[in-house]
Amino acid sequence: MASNSRPWYSIHARRVYLCALLASSACGVSGMAPPRNDRPLDPAASVGDAAQPEPPIIFDSLPNGMKSGENGLEAEFHTPPTLPSLTVAEVDELLRTARDLGLPSEYIKSGCHDRAHLLWLALPTSLRAKVGKVWILSPSVLTLAVTTPITIKNSQDTPRWGYHVAVAYRAGDATYVVDSTVPHSLEQSYSARKWLDEYSVPYGSLTVLLRPELYLFYSNIVPEKYYKKVADEDKTDDKRGVRAKCEKCEKFEEAPVLSNTTQKELMNTGEFFKYEGLSQKEMFLEKAVARDEVAASILRDSAGCEWSSLVSKPGALLDVLGGAGEVPAACKPFAKRFSERISHWHEVVSGPAK
C-alpha cells in the first residue's frame, strides 16, 4: 500500500543530497543503513499462494518540489494510485499481452519509458485502469550534486540509467512488475521486491508508484539565476546530463557556494509528462522502440553497416535512422526496417481500444 506520510528513507535521501552539496565528511553517508527496498528478498510467491507471503512494499512519496511543475499536471497524477487486486484471468491477460507485443529486450540502453507506456496502451481498456507504473528515480536526476546511476546487477555491459520504469499491478496483497528488461516478469508474476533486486539502486533513490498515464520524466532546466551573465556571448551548459539553457551564461561552477534556499531548490527537481503534444506528434515512443529493434538487429549481424559504431549511443543512432541524409548501401535494410516498425508501433499506439 502506498504511504502518504513522509518516510524515514526520504529524510535520508535529502541528507545524501545535502552532504554531497556541502562535500562534508561529517555527514556519515557511508555509515547509513541500506534503503528499505534493498532488504534481502524472500522467494517470489505466485499469485494466490499464501505459503510464502512477502511484506508489502512501501513506496516513497514524491517530494513537494515535483508537484508543481510548469507542465501543469493535475494534482491527482502526483498521488499514488489505489490499484485493485487483479484476478488470475486478468494477470494472465496482462502477461500474455506483454509477451505477444514482442517488445525488444536485447537492446536496453534507453527507452524503458517507451516500452512501459507501449505495453500500457496495448492493454484492453478494462485493464488500463487497474495498473500503474513503478519509477526508480536515482539521485542523478533529482539533484546536481550526485551522479550515481541505476545499473543492472551481474551485467558486464550494463546500461547506466538516471531512472527506470515499468508497468505494475497488484494481486492479493503484493505488487508485481512487468518489465521487458527482465524477461522472467513476462512469463509469471514477478514481485516488485524481486524486480528491484535486479538492479543496483543508488542510495538516495526514490521508488514511487504513479498513475500509468505518465510517460516520461525530465530533470528540470536549471534556472537562469544560477548562472553568471556575460556580455559578449551566449553559452549553453549541459551539467551532468541536466538540460540547462539561458541567455548569456557561463558554466556552472564545479563547487558553488549555495544558500539554503538554492540548495533546497536544486534538490528533488524534475517533472513527469504525458504522451501528448510534441512527443505524440513526433512519435517519440514509436521511433524509440523501432530504434531499439533495429539496434538489436545490428548487434546480431551488422552486415557491414557503418551504423554499428553508433549502437552504444541511442540518441545518435536515432538521429541517423530518422535523418534525411543519404543512407549507406549496407545500412538500407536497417533504415527500411526502422520505417516499417514505426508504422507497426503507431498502429498499436493509435489503434482502437479493446
With cell 562534508, the residue in question is 24
Q: Residue 173: which pLDDT band, with cuts at 50, 70 and 90?
A: confident
**Separation between Cα atoms, residue 75 and residue 62, nearest integer Å:** 12
- Mean pLDDT check: name the lowest of 158-162, 225-229, 342-346: 225-229
pLDDT at 248: 40
Q: Residue 108: which pLDDT band, with cuts at 50, 70 and 90?
A: confident
pLDDT at 105: 84
Q: Using DSSP, state whether 312 is helix, strand or coil.
A: coil
Q: Using DSSP, state whether 177 is helix, strand or coil.
A: strand
Cell of 13: 535521501
- What digits encode the pLDDT tens for the residues 181-225? 888 899 988 999 999 999 999 988 989 999 999 998 876 544 444
pLDDT at 269: 59
The pTM (predicted TM-score) of the whole model is: 0.72
pLDDT at 294: 95
- What digits encode the pLDDT tens for the residues 253-272? 433 444 444 444 555 457 78
Q: Using DSSP, state whether 31 is helix, strand or coil.
A: helix
**Separation between Cα atoms, residue 165 and residue 185, nearest integer Å:** 14
pLDDT at 323: 85
Q: Identify the residue with better confidence: 352 or 190.
A: 190
**Separation between Cα atoms, residue 65 and residue 261, nearest integer Å:** 12
pLDDT at 38: 35
pLDDT at 12: 40
- What digits encode the pLDDT tens for the residues 6-62? 343 343 444 434 343 333 322 332 222 333 333 333 333 444 444 455 666 778 887
Q: Which residues contact 283 (CB under 8 A, 6 or more apart)?
A: 342, 346, 349
- What digits encode the pLDDT tens for the residues 277-297? 888 999 999 999 999 999 999
pLDDT at 317: 94
- What digits encode the pLDDT tens for the residues 60-71? 887 766 655 544
Rg (CA), the chain: 21
Q: What is the DSSP string of 179-219?
A: -TTSGGGGTS--BHHHHHTTEEPPTT-EEEEE-TTEEEEEP
**Separation between Cα atoms, residue 159 and residue 169, nearest integer Å:** 25
pLDDT at 350: 87
- What digits encode the pLDDT tens for the residues 234-246? 444 444 333 344 4
pLDDT at 110: 87
- For 145, left (φ over 0), alpha (ψ -120 to 50), or beta? alpha
Give me the phi and psi of 133, to 5 degrees please.
Answer: -135, 140
pLDDT above 70: residue 166: yes
Query: Between the CA atoms of 42, 163, 188 and 38, what dihedral angle is there, to the nearest 10 degrees?
Result: 0
pLDDT at 42: 36
- Domains along the sequence of the chain with CATH: 8-218 (3.10.620), 278-350 (no CATH)
pLDDT above 80: residue 249: no
Give percent of the chain above pLDDT 90.
42
